[in-house]
Amino acid sequence: MNPTGTARTAWTFWKPALRQLWLPALVFGVLLVSTAGSTSFYFPPLTEVLDVLWTELLHGGLVGDLWFSLRNIVLGLALATVVGVGAGLVIGEVRTLRLATGPLLDFARATPTVGFVPVIILTLGIGSGPKIFLIFLGSVWPILLNTVSGVQAIGPAVHETARGYRIPWALRMRRVVLPGALPQILAGIRVALSIAVVLMVVSEIYGSPIGLGNFILQSGSSFHVAETWAGTILIGVLGYVLSVLLLLVEHALLGWYHQRAPRARRAVRPPTPPTQLTSTERATSNGVVV
Amino acid sequence: MASSPTGSSPMKGSLMGGSSTGRVRLLQLGALAAVLALWALIAAVGMVSSTALPGPASVAAAFGDLVGSGTFWQAVGDTLRGAVTGLVVAVAVGIPVGLVTGVYAAAEESSRLLTEILRSFPVIALLPVFLLVLGSTPGMKATVVFIACVFPVLLQAQYGARSVTPAVHETVRSYRVPRLLRFRRVILPGAVPSIMTGLRLAATTSVLVAIGVEVLTTLPGIGHMIMESQQAGVSARAYAYILTAGAIGYAITMLAQLAEQRLLRWRPPTHPGGE
Amino acid sequence: MTRGSSLHVEGVGMSFGRGAQEHRVLGGLSLRVDPGEVVCIVGPSGAGKTTLLRCLAGLTPPTQGAVRYGELPLTAPHADIAVISQDYRGSLLPWMRVWDNVAFPLQGRGVKKAVRRQRALECLEAVGLGDVGEKYPWQLSGGMQQRVAIARGLAYDAPVLLMDEPFGSVDAQSRFDLEDLTLELRRRLGITVVVVTHDIDEAVYLGDRVVVLGGRPTAVLETLTIPLGADRDQVTTRADPRFTELRTRVLSRIRGERAPTDAAPDSRPEARPEVTRK
C-alpha cells in the first residue's frame, strides 16, 4: 500500500489490475463476438444467453431457485464448519484420538459423497433437509481434517508458553489453539466450499421442485439450450461470489497472519514431518472440486 | 523388551507388542471396531430406516456377492478408465502450462483471474451443458474429469515453478542456458515436489468426478451401479459400491503418498508442498 | 526487598530414551538459587542447560532427583515462576496485540480486562515499551519482542524469572540494553533471575553467581561468586580487571572440560587452572 499521494496510489492499483484483467476481458469479448451471429443449436449467442438469464431472474422463478440453493449450501456449510472445527479441535488436541482415527478420517475423506446422493434422496425425500445433510456430509471432512492439521501445526513454543503460564484449558482452546489453527481451518473451508457447490447441484437432481441444479437439469433435458447455459453461468457466479466472500472473511480474520513476513509465518507453522494425516490439504485449496 | 543386538532402533514391533507402531495400529483397529459397532447399533435399533442405512452385516454380505460377479469389476473398470483418461490429459496439459505461467510472471498475472474463476467453478454443473453438446458418451466423462483435474495440476506446477529462486534464474541466465534445457533440467526438477502434491490431488479428484458423472448420467461405472442398486431398493448393494469407491480413493491417496515419500526421499525439505 | 522462595535443585538427572537408546544428558546436579539473586548458568552447547531450566520451570520433570520451590516439590509450572524462552517469535501469540500478549497470563487467572490491560501497560512501561501496547508483535524488532516477553513475565507477578538464552537472537546493542534492563528490574522489584546462556561475558556481567556446567553427563563443574557489586555498568564493569579474570576462569573451566561430543574429560594438569571455589 503506497501512502504517498492519491494519484500514485490510483496508478499502483490500476496497473496490476489492468495486467490481470486484459486477458479475461479479451476472452469475454471474443466469446461475445464469435457467438454473436451463431445459429448453432448448442452454442447460442452469448448475448442471447445473458438476455435469458436476465429475464429469468426478473420474471421467471430463478430468484426463488437461487435463494433455495443458496440457503441450503449456507446452512450445510455452517453445520459442517461447527461440527468440523469442534471435532477437529478435540481430535487435534488429544494425541491418542488423533492417531486412532487417522486412517478412518482419511477413508471418509476419500469416499465420494456424490455416491450417497441416490441413497439419501431416494430414502429421505426431496426436501431441504436431506440436501442440507448431504452438503454437510461432504463438506465436513476437509474442514475437520484441516482443523486437526492446523492444531498440530501450532509450534511447540506456543504450547509451552501456555503451559508455563498455567493457562486454563478452555481459555487456551479459545485464544491459543483456535486462532493458531485458523489459517488451516479457513483453507479447509475453502476446499469444503467447492465440494459444497457440487453437492448442492447434484442433490437437486432427483426431481426437486426448485433449485438451481434442478433448473439446469430441467432446461437441459427439455432442450432449452439458452436457459441451460444461463443457469450454468449463474451457478458459476454463485460459486465465485461465495469464494470471494470467504476470501474477505479470511482477510478480516487473518490480518495478523498475512501481514507477517513469510519466515515469521513459518514460525507458527514449522515444517512438520509427514504424519498420519498428510492426505489432508495442508493449507492448499488448489481446485479439489468434488 | 527385545532390542536388536546391533542396537538399532527397536521401533518395528517387538514380541511384547510394546513398540509404538504396534500400539498405534491397535488403537486404529479399536477405533474401526468402535465405528462398526456404532453403525450396527444404529441400524439394529431402527433409528433410521433400513433402506437408508443398512447394517454392516448386510453390506458386507452384499459386498461379498459383488466381488464374485462380473458386473462389479466391469463397473470398476469403467470408472477407472474414464478417470485415468481424463487425468492423463490433465497432467499433459497442466504441467507445461503451469510451469510456463510459473516462470513468466506476466503470463501468471494475465491468467490469474481466469484461472481463479474457472477453478472455483463446479465442474459437475457443466454436466447438463455437456450432455447437450457431447451427449452421454465416455468421451464426455473423460472431458469432465480433465477439466476438474487440470487445475490442481496446473496450480501446483505453477507454485513449484515459482519456488525456483531468483538466484537460480540469474545463474542460469548468466550461463546462457537455452530455454528448453532450462525448463527441463532446472525448472521442472525444482517443481517436482509441488507437482507430486498436485498429482495426488488430481488423482483423487479424477475418481470422484468420474463417479459423480456416472451418478448423474446413464454412463456405466460405479456411480451408475449405486444409482441402479438404490432404485432397485437393494441399498446394501449401493452401500457396498460406495465403500468400494471410498476404498479406491483411499488406495490412490496412500499410493500417491508413498510415491511422494520415496521419490522425494533424497531431497532436502525445501517447502511444504502446496501452501 | 526480595520475594518468593528459594529454588532447590537436588541431584537432578535427566535421561532420554530407554534401554540401549538411553542417553543421559544431566547427571546428578545440585544447586540452589536464593531470592533476589541473579544466577547465570553457562556451559557448552548441547550440555543440557535448557533441559535444566525446563526442570526448574516444572515443564519437564527430571528422571532422577527433584526440584523444590521452597518446601514444595516442583512437578508442574508454578504460579511464582515465569519462563522467558529463547524463541520469542514462537512464544508471543501473533494474533494478539502486544498488551494482550502481556496480559494473557492474567486472563488465565481470571483478572478482569480493564485491570489486566492496565497492569500490562505498566509492565510495558517498566521495560521501556510504554507506547507499543496497541501494536502486533510482528511490528516490533527482535529486541523489543524479547522485552515484551519479559514484560509478560513481570505482569505474571512472578518473583522468579527463568530466562533461556534470552538475548541470543537479538543484536549486540540491544543485548546490552536488555542485560541492563534485567539488572534494573532485579534492583527495583527484588525478583530472582536465573539466566541460561552460552555467552560467558554476559554471564559474568549479569550474575551474582555463575554456575559452570560441563562434562558428560553434564554436571556442575564449578560455581563462582562474582564480587563485582550490584551496580554494574556496561563500560566500567567490563573494563574492570576482575571481570576479565573471572571470565577467563569460566572460559578455561569450560574449555578444560571439553565439549560433550568429545572424548573423556580432560585430566591433564595444565588444563585445570587454579580456581577459587565458592
Question: What does the pLDDT look like over C22-58, one tens digit per residue?
Answer: 888 888 888 999 998 999 999 887 778 888 888 898 8
Kindly provide the ipTM of the predicted complex, given to two decimals: 0.77
Return residues 6-25 of B near C (CB < 8 Å). 7, 9-10
Single-letter amino acid code for the residue at B74:
Q
Nearest CB among A157, A166, A261 relative to C108 is that of A166
Q: Is the CB of residue A159 less than 8 Å from the CB of residue A233?
A: no
pLDDT at A8: 66
**Higher confidence at residue B104 or residue C98?**
C98
User: Which amino acid, one-letter code, is at B187?
Assistant: I
Q: State the pLDDT confidence band at A282, using cuts at 50, 70 and 90.
A: very low
Quote the domain boundaries for residue A150: 45-285
Average pLDDT on C214-242 reads 85
User: Which residues have a Cβ under 8 Å from the Cβ of C27 and sit 6 or more positions away?
Assistant: C13, C215, C217, C218, C219
In this structure, what C-alpha cell is assigned to residue B27? 488403537
Q: Residue C212 in 3-state DSSP?
A: strand
B267 pLDDT band, cuts 50/70/90, is: low
Phi, psi of C38 (to 5 degrees): -110, 115
Among the ranges given (A152-156, A240-244, B159-163, C263-267), the one the predictor scored with the smallest mean pLDDT: C263-267
Put simply, whether A150 touches C (Cβ < 8 Å) is no
Q: Which residues pair with C209 in a beta bridge?
A: C39, C225
CB B13 within 8 A of CB B4: no
Specify if A5 maps to a domain.
no
C-alpha C59/C-alpha A23 separation (Å) is 58
Nearest residue of A to residue C56 by CA position?
A164
Separation CA B226–CA A120 (nearest Å) = 12
Position B268: which residue type? P
Whether the CB-CB separation of B39 and B213 falls below 8 Å is answered with: no
User: Whose CA is closest to B266, among B186, B172, B192?
Assistant: B192
Q: What is the CATH number of the domain that holds A279?
A: 1.10.3720.10
- Residue A4, in any domain of the structure: no
C-alpha cell at B94: 497442466
Q: What was the pLDDT predicted at B268?
A: 60
Concatenated DSSP letters of A105-167? HHHHHHS-GGGHHHHHHHHH-SSHHHHHHHHHHHHHHHHHHHHHHHHHHS-HHHHHHHHHTT-
**What is the average per-residue pLDDT within A242-251?**
90
pLDDT band at C257 (very low <50, low <70, confident <90, very high): low
pLDDT digits (tens, 9 = 90+) for B241-263: 999 999 998 999 889 888 888 87
Nearest residue to B24 via CA among A275, A279, A147:
A275
**Which residue has cell 530407554?**
C18
For residue C45, the SS3 value is coil
In degrees rounded to 5, what are phi and psi of residue B244?
A: -60, -45
pLDDT mean over C225-242? 86
Phi first, then psi: what are they for C134, rounded to 5°? -85, -5
Kindly state the helix (H) or strand (E) to which residue A244 belongs, with its residue range: helix A225-253
pLDDT: which is higher, B111 or A167: A167
pLDDT over threshold 60, residue A284? no
The answer to whether the beta carbons of residues A123 and B51 sit under 8 Å apart is: yes
pLDDT at A212 over 90: no
Which of residues 153 through 192 in chain B touch A, CB cutoff 8 A? 155-156, 159
Q: Rounded CA gap, C128 and A16, in Å?
A: 42
- Side chain identity, residue A263: R
- List of domains in chain B: 56-263 (1.10.3720.10)
Is residue A214 situated within a structural domain?
Answer: yes
Mean pLDDT of chain A: 80
> What residue type is assigned to position C72 of the chain?
L
CA pair distance B150, C138, nearest whole angstrom: 38
CA–CA gap between residue A210 and residue A201 (Å, rounded): 11
Asked whether the beta carbons of residue A198 and residue B119 sit closer than 8 angstroms, the reply is: no
* Model pLDDT for residues A97-138, shown as the tens digit of each residue: 888 898 899 899 888 888 888 888 888 888 888 899 999 999
Highest mean pLDDT among A75-89, B5-19, C154-168: A75-89
Kindly tell me if the per-residue pLDDT of B88 is higher than 90.
yes
Closest by CA to A267, choosing from A161, A113, A135, is A161
Which pLDDT score is estimated for C275? Answer: 45
What is the total count of domains within chain A?
1
Return the SS3 of C16. strand
Residue A49: per-residue pLDDT: 81
A219 lies in some domain: yes
Give the per-residue pLDDT at C70.
87
Does the residue A245 lie in any domain? Answer: yes
Q: Provide the terminal-to-terminal Cα distance of chain B, rounded to the nearest Å.
A: 42
Site of grid cell 504450547: A159
Lowest-confidence segment of A128-132, B159-163, C264-268 by average pLDDT: C264-268
- B252 versus B128: the higher-pLDDT residue is B252
Q: Which conformational region is residue C4 in: left (phi greater than 0), alpha (psi within -120 to 50 degrees), or beta? A: left
Q: Under a CB-based contact definition with an 8 Å cutoff, are residues B39 and B45 in contact? A: no
Instruction: Say how far apart CA B86 and CA B83 lie, in whole Å.
Output: 5
Three cell numbers, residue A112: 465420494
Would A120 be classed as within a structural domain?
Answer: yes
The answer to whether residue A123 is domain-embedded is yes
Q: What is the mean pLDDT of residues C73-83?
A: 88
Q: What is the pLDDT of residue A171?
A: 92
| CB spacing of A197 vs B241 below 8 angstroms | no
Q: Binning pLDDT at 50, 70 and 90, where does residue A260 land?
A: low
Contact B119 A286 (CB under 8 A): yes
Which stretch of A21-30, A145-154, B91-100, C50-59 has the lowest confidence by average pLDDT? A21-30
Nearest CA in chain C to B6: C20
Q: How far apart are CA C65 and CA C10, in angstroms?
A: 6
Q: What is the pLDDT of residue A38?
A: 67
Place of cell 552447547: C45
Q: How confident is the model at residue C192 (pLDDT cuts 50, 70, 90)?
A: very high
What pLDDT score was predicted for residue C118?
93
To the nearest whole Å, the CA of B175 is away from the closest chain A CA by 30
- B13 φ, ψ to 5°? -45, 140
Interface of A with C in 5-64 (CB under 8 A): none
The nearest CA of chain C is from the CA of A51 a distance in Å of 48
Q: Which residue has the cell 519462563?
A: C83
A235 neighbors A212 (Cβ within 8 angstroms): yes
Does a structural domain hold residue A12? Answer: no
